[in-house]
Amino acid sequence: MTFDSVYAGLQLKDARLVSGSNRRLTFDGSSSVIVEPGSTVYSDPLPGRLAAGSNLVVSLHSPDAAGPVTGHWMALQTSYATRGDHTAEESGAHWTESIGSWFYLDAVSVRTPSATGAVVTLGDSITDGWQSTTDLNRRWPDYLARRLQKADTVVKGVANEGISGNKVLADGAGPSALNRLDRDVLSQPRVRTVFLFEGVNELNVHPGV
């Protein structure tokens, strides 16, 4: 799949961005990139500072998007879609279709001082944020992130690796916790602590049995 235009900026409200914040991302110096099936691609670093708790908007355009889409269906965050390449725009005027899932983009990695560590929360729908309020960042890992920002600790980052319906050993709603441990936990930069909150989906209760 080809992405021929990718931008990152700060959200102002809805699909609108903070004026002057939207900047193009490059891939080995190129504005376009081809992502092979099942592969992961990283952009070049984007210079600048990003305040803790910022809502970063990543806009992607593909000339050949079709078929099944890789994504996170229960994002509990409103994203916006449009036709044509409007990735460089900040007004949001063309981004009129709202969606409740994240597609293509898996994570954003922020460079921090070498002493700063991170926490990974590995879990199922409870960690993913099931029944928390959309667009208000009220998943329990969000509350953890805000507490860590105020605490006297070098552990500041929180990576939410919750997948609704996920199981410890069996694949289904994404790879099992065991099969995604390296990808979602061990390969993350500067991880100091892991919260494991899984097992509910292994329990099948049948009335009368």
Question: Mean pLDDT throughout 6-17?
Answer: 97
For residue range 41-54, list pLDDT tens digits in order: 999 999 999 998 89
- Does the pLDDT at position 64 exceed 90? no
Share of the chain above pLDDT 70, in %: 97
Which amino acid is residue 16, in one-letter code? Answer: R
| Lowest mean per-residue pLDDT among 67-76, 117-126, 143-152, 165-174 | 67-76
- Does the pLDDT at position 2 exceed 80? yes
Distance CA 11, CA 14 (A): 7
Distance CA 167, CA 181 (A): 12
In which band, very low, low, confident or very high, does the pLDDT at 174 lie, cut at 50, 70 and 90? confident
Per DSSP, the chain holds a count of helices (H) and strands (E) of 3, 13
Q: What is the mean pLDDT of the chain?
A: 92
Q: What is the DSSP letter of 183?
A: I
Which amino acid is residue 157, in one-letter code? Answer: G
Neighbours of 162 (CB within 10 A): 24
- Does the pLDDT at position 209 exceed 50? no
Q: Which residues contact 52 (CB under 8 A, 6 or more apart)?
A: 145, 149, 156
Q: Which of 158, 143, 152 is nearest to 112 (CA)?
A: 158
pLDDT at 189: 87
Question: Mean pLDDT throughout 100-128?
Answer: 93
Distance CA 65, CA 45 (A): 25
Question: Mean pLDDT throughout 114-121?
Answer: 94
pLDDT at 204: 61
Interior/surface letters 114-142, b for 16+ CB within 10 angstroms, e for the rest: eeebbbbbbbbbbbbbeeeeeeebebbbb
